Amino acid sequence: MSTDHAHTTPPPESSGLSRRAVLGAVLMAALIGIFFLLREHREHLAGSWAYLLLLACPVMHLFHHGHGGGRDHASSLPEAKDR
């Protein structure tokens, strides 16, 4: 009599929800929370929009030139060949 037999483990049980579904639910809950937070504090934020817009200009300028946006890209284009 042989005692050799294969032991197989059952596949792990899934919780029924995929990771993508859970991430979507968390994202929607966060968006709803942000909506109500902004709705309650609209008066406080109304005076700040102009300053935030002015602050965006130097921040965009900093990132634009920081990532090579100031280089001359025309010199890197292939030249047109004469026919």
- Give tens-digit pLDDT for 3-15: 666 667 666 666 6
Residue 82 lies in a domain: no
Residue 42 lies in a domain: yes
Residue type, 30: A
Residue 7 lies in a domain: no
H helical segments located in 2-79:
19-40, 42-46, 49-66
Q: How far apart are CA 72 and CA 75, in angstroms?
A: 6
Number of structural domains in the chain: 1
- The answer, yes or no, to whether residue 28 has pLDDT greater than 90, is yes
Q: Which residues contact 15 (CB under 8 A, 6 or more apart)?
A: none
Residue 23 lies in a domain: yes
Residue 12 lies in a domain: no
Residue 5 lies in a domain: no
Kindly report, residue by residue over 37-50, the tens digit of the pLDDT.
989 888 877 888 88
Please indicate, yes or no, whether the overall pTM of this predicted structure exceeds 0.85.
no
Residue 54 lies in a domain: yes
Structural domain boundaries, residue 46: 19-67
